[in-house]
Structure 1
């Protein structure tokens, strides 16, 4: 009997389960090559240029599921991207709100996740009368549910050499525009899991304002920090909306195994990456699919061109920093992923 890590026939019990690399190599070898080619070339790109000499430090968390992370880093803005709770009762949600409100960050912004049942009127009846009794007190926490928020945040240069009187006078405040929305492709019973829509349905087009700096969703955009192989569990319509808007920062969670951060450069290498992963691999595992191989070649060629343009000439394509802020480590029920910090 093969151990799970070496069994090429291994299939996770759910779409949100982890598939070992050996199994992926057997199930989707060309897509695995495409994935690693794209991410290797992205890794060597330089970091995005900050929007200001006094960047806002954003601390990103998600999927705490009633737990309280220790040692939350300091920052100007704290974002929680949903699944604060397990059962979604008023008492569970309020405990998480009280903990968030106690943190020292200047501003705190929260959206819901599919486990935060009470916050969706459609799933609220699944709770017992005791679980849904009471009124939530959000205090200083900003709750976004298909809502836009503008914040003025006072920031100081973190580089001691940059703290000149002129800079302090001119850039002591930053205006940040945020949009948050909780909806996700269906992943469980509609009566229990909040804010779901049928997988494949477009619940995103033209919903996100064009002038935002930060987008907060619970679901990932498809193929990005998302268990991308073999098929991805994020939303393709959200990806199209993020491509249209191109926010500076996109924070999400939901897929615990996808935790981390990456920079998406909106260029032709990225287009080929998404197009290649979208191709269905059947019994040939993609080995005999010329369209899939052609997208591997495009990712390599376009990615090298973009890398040279970046590293040699200092050019940068439009970009978005994407953060999967899930704290829950896989399906263990315990926190284990690093808290993500981004300066924008």
Structure 2
């Protein structure tokens, strides 16, 4: 461990958020443009609003509880858990989490597993758990499939869930795939309202993933454009982010997906400068259009939610539960 790491000026590993010094050393251009992009998103407002003539559907999002149950889960219509219910992934541990989820009064509950939930993947299941079964108690467990749920006011939501995740551990980890061969292309139904995955999309700290997400999943999200995408896995990435699927977002993603050039080389002209300029131009255009049209977002906008409850690598829960009204 270096002195800068000991002093807290550099992060210990890639699973922690970069410090200010990290960001500047990696790419001052990426750092500045990310701040500008965040401001532009804030000025454009919410990606969508619930319909005025029908009751809103309150979606409560959690993930990465890792055997713990000391979560203040607020009331709502739909409860989503985006995986990593447990640490060891045994049938007994998973059943305890299922029992806990089933105790809540939400009308519907949806679950995908995470890489730590070994039992769900036959290739990762512990020998002592083979032959054991689970009682889902009415919870909709999704593994590369969809469910359509009915809510008050005649409203319906189609939810697609998949547990697949870029390889990040040994054979005891569930549903891993080679990062070079993502399985997402044309797998999510085009009429999906809510997408639930354990892995975040993208890479290079793009969408609440600290550079640990999947670019292949991001391409699929661009194709489908669900109103809400719920995921977890990267604890320090917890939060929410609006995505508008427009030229501003495309320019931003193009920039941050490029290999960082470092503190010195970033100040010499390169193609990233052009991408940064387009982020500003398209972003300002989007803000002006939003205010002229009187209302945030549009029908092509979405919300990404990293619902991880585990507070970083502390081993304790501490992140707030994410609640979305649709």
**Does the aligned pair in 2 maintain the 1:89–1:132 contact within 8 Å?**
no
Distance in 2 separating the partners of 1:19 and 1:182: 27
Residue 128 (structure 1) shift: 4.3
The TM-score, its normalising length taken from structure 2, stands at 0.93
In the alignment, is residue 328 of structure 1 matched against residue 307 of structure 2? Answer: no
The residue number in structure 2 matching 1:338 is 320
The residue number in structure 1 matching 2:209 is 226
Residue 173 (structure 1) shift: 2.3
Name structure 2 gaps, 5 residues minimum. Answer: none
In the alignment, is residue 102 of structure 1 matched against residue 103 of structure 2? Answer: yes
Residue 224 (structure 1) shift: 0.5
Q: Measured at CA, do residues 278 and 99 of structure 1 come closer, stay the same or move farther in structure 2, by a change above 3 Å?
A: same
In the alignment, is residue 278 of structure 1 matched against residue 272 of structure 2? Answer: no
Distance in 2 separating the partners of 1:82 and 1:179: 14
**Does the aligned pair in 1 maintain the 2:50–2:325 contact within 8 Å?**
no
**Does the aligned pair in 1 maintain the 2:142–2:162 contact within 8 Å?**
yes
Residue 6 (structure 1) shift: 5.6
Q: Measured at CA, do residues 6 and 123 of structure 1 come closer, stay the same or move farther in structure 2, by a change above 3 Å?
A: closer
In the alignment, is residue 248 of structure 1 matched against residue 227 of structure 2? Answer: yes
Q: Which runs of structure 2 are paired with 1:264-303 in the superposition (5 Å)?
A: 264-282=243-261, 284-303=264-283
Distance in 2 separating the partners of 1:181 and 1:220: 12
Residue of 216, 219, 241 corresponding to 1:262: 241
Aligned-CA RMSD value: 1.6
Q: Which moved more, 1:324-333 or 1:293-302?
A: 293-302
Q: Measured at CA, do residues 300 and 5 of structure 1 come closer, stay the same or move farther in structure 2, by a change above 3 Å?
A: farther
In the alignment, is residue 174 of structure 1 matched against residue 155 of structure 2? Answer: yes
Q: Which runs of structure 2 are paired with 1:71-82 in the superposition (5 Å)?
A: 71-82=72-83
* Residue deviations 1:16-53 (CA, integer Å, cap 9, x gap): 22321222112211111111111111011122332523
Instruction: State the secondary structure of the residue aligned to 1:44.
Output: helix
Distance in 1 separating the partners of 2:7 and 2:271: 30
Instruction: State the secondary structure of the residue aligned to 2:44.
Output: coil
Residue 296 (structure 1) shift: 1.1
Instruction: State the secondary structure of the residue aligned to 1:341.
Output: strand
Residue of 172, 182, 200 corresponding to 2:180: 200
Distance in 2 separating the partners of 1:285 and 1:194: 40
Q: Measured at CA, do residues 146 and 277 of structure 1 come closer, stay the same or move farther in structure 2, by a change above 3 Å?
A: same
Distance in 2 separating the partners of 1:208 and 1:2: 44
* Residue deviations 1:226-261 (CA, integer Å, cap 9, x gap): 11xxxx110001000000100111000001111011
Q: Measured at CA, do residues 64 and 132 of structure 1 come closer, stay the same or move farther in structure 2, by a change above 3 Å?
A: farther
**Does the aligned pair in 2 maintain the 1:215–1:251 contact within 8 Å?**
yes
Instruction: State the secondary structure of the residue aligned to 1:250.
Output: strand
Q: Measured at CA, do residues 303 and 119 of structure 1 come closer, stay the same or move farther in structure 2, by a change above 3 Å?
A: same
**Does the aligned pair in 1 maintain the 2:185–2:220 contact within 8 Å?**
yes
In the alignment, is residue 311 of structure 1 matched against residue 291 of structure 2? Answer: yes
The residue number in structure 2 matching 1:39 is 38
In the alignment, is residue 212 of structure 1 matched against residue 192 of structure 2? Answer: yes
Name structure 1 gaps, 5 residues minimum. Answer: 155-171
The residue number in structure 1 matching 2:134 is 136
**Does the aligned pair in 2 maintain the 1:90–1:133 contact within 8 Å?**
no
Q: Which moved more, 1:314-323 or 1:138-147?
A: 314-323
Aligned length: 316
Q: Which moved more, 1:16-25 or 1:177-186?
A: 16-25
Distance in 2 separating the partners of 1:299 and 1:340: 28
**Does the aligned pair in 2 maintain the 1:5–1:22 contact within 8 Å?**
no
